[in-house]
Amino acid sequence: MAASRPPQVQELLAEARRAFREEFGAEPELAVSAPGRVNLIGEHTDYNQGLVLPMALELVTLLVGSPRTDGLVSLLTTSKDADEPQRLQFPLPTVHRSLEPGTPRWANYVKGVIQHYPDSGAIAARAQVCQRAEHSFAGVPCGIMDQLIALLGQKGHALLIDCRSLETSLVPLSDPKLAVLITNSNVRHSLGSSEYPLRRRQCEEVARALGKESLREVRLEELEAGRELVSKEGFRRARHVVGEIQRTAQAAAALSRGDYRAFGRLMVESHYSLRDDYEVSCSELDQLVEAALSVPGVYGSRMTGGGFGGCTVTLLEASAASRTMQHIQEQYSGTATFYLSQAADGAKVLCL
Ligand code: GLA
């Protein structure tokens, strides 16, 4: 069984240049690419000032463009999911007039980045600007993981991010005997959009009740000792976060010394904690994880990202990839899609 092959950057670039030329009657002057990401471990810890360990993927979003002099922004998006290219034109924001989110929804994030961009500085500040765009234009009160890995990812490495200090360190991940398999459940339960902000609030409430700035400052013993100060549900949410931050530190250390078995065990603990304490998994993700775990050569598997659908990530021997995909597909009640990706580079300007 074969994983889907991501379109190559050069193919996407040729397609984008063609679309630009047809729309604007000229060649674009600039091209940039930004990767997708998968989080290996450290889930729902970023907005708690904790640790995360994502890697950038070979799947990219590609953008071509040229400056214009009339104060307008023209956007054209071509996507395999939409039948027709989509267009939008709007004036650049000024000190007197800000951009606002609205319809079409696909443009909101782009507008948000344009609106906030003048405030950006160094790389971390640029990531923060994109995070603000998510908060105020896309309506997702996300942490800083996605933006930092998209900017700082490096080929052959995962990235350990300390979301409190914004310090990052690269962890080598290029052993040819090892593979990272991403399995898309192809379901997305709408519950996710309301549960995400709710989880964030619950975590903040527990931290406050314990007199701490964030759950990053809380040790497991302190949480246990303060059990009476928080709700039962709040306690379980916080237990996930506090444990997950510890697991992420341990997993980064395990990966550095090539101990894939230890890494895999931590991934599985992470999944069970997300399922039972944080309650952001769903039956489809649980099925995919259990199916993966029953295949020899699989080190570990877990849901990845916000939850309530989306993908799982599995660490396995490269030689076990084909039989793992086969087995997952046989066991899964839905239709899964597979991606095998190396750890790739972060956002970059491409040569035209
Ligand atoms: C979403 C958010 C991230 C992070 C994850 C959960 O993907 O965008 O900031 O909070 O959920 O780990």
- Tell me the pLDDT tens digit for each residue of 11-52: 999 999 999 999 999 999 999 999 999 999 999 999 999 999
CA–centroid distance, residue 246 to ligand 1 (Å): 18
pLDDT at 80: 65
Instruction: Say if residue 146 is exposed, middle or buried (CB neighbours under 10 Å; 0-12, 13-18, 19+).
Output: buried
pTM of model > 0.75: yes
Q: Whose CA is nearest to atom 9 of ligand 1?
A: 143
Indicate if 146 belongs to the active site: yes
One of 81, 119, 146, 277 is an active-site residue; which one?
Answer: 146
CA–centroid distance, residue 20 to ligand 1 (Å): 32
> If DSSP states are collapsed to H, E and C, what string results for the chain?
CCCCCCCCHHHHHHHHHHHHHHHHCCCCCEEEEEEEEEEEECCCCHHHCCEEEEEEEEEEEEEEECCCCCCEEEEEECCCCCCCCEEEEEECCCCCCCCCCCCCHHHHHHHHHHHHHHHCCCHHHHHHHHHHHHHHHHCCCCCCHHHHHHHHCCCCEEEEEECCCCCEEEEECCCCCEEEEEEEEEEECCHHHHHHHHHHHHHHHHHHHCCCCCHHHCCHHHHHHCHHHCCHHHHHHHHHHHHHHHHHHHHHHHHHCCCHHHHHHHHHHHHHHHHHCCCCCCHHHHHHHHHHHCCCCEEEEEEECCCCEEEEEEEEEHHHHHHHHHHHHHHCCCCCEEEECCCECCCEEECC
Task: From first to last of the 352 residues of the chain, give the pLDDT tens digit.
Answer: 778 777 889 999 999 999 999 999 999 999 999 999 999 999 999 999 999 999 999 999 999 999 999 999 999 999 767 778 999 999 999 999 999 999 999 999 999 999 998 888 888 899 999 999 999 999 999 999 999 999 999 999 999 999 999 999 999 999 999 999 999 999 999 988 999 999 999 999 999 999 999 999 999 999 999 999 999 999 999 999 999 999 999 999 999 999 999 999 999 999 999 999 999 999 999 999 999 999 999 999 999 999 999 999 999 999 999 999 999 999 999 999 999 999 999 999 999 9
pLDDT at 122: 83
Residues β-bridged to residue 333: none
Contact 144, 46 (CB under 8 A): yes
Best residue for ligand 1 mutational test, from 38, 53, 142, 308 (most atoms within 8 Å of Cβ): 142
Pocket around ligand 1 at a 6 A CB cut-off? 39, 43-44, 46-47, 142-143, 145-146, 305-306
Q: What pLDDT, in 10s, does the model give residues 261-305?
A: 999 999 999 999 999 999 999 999 999 999 999 999 999 999 999
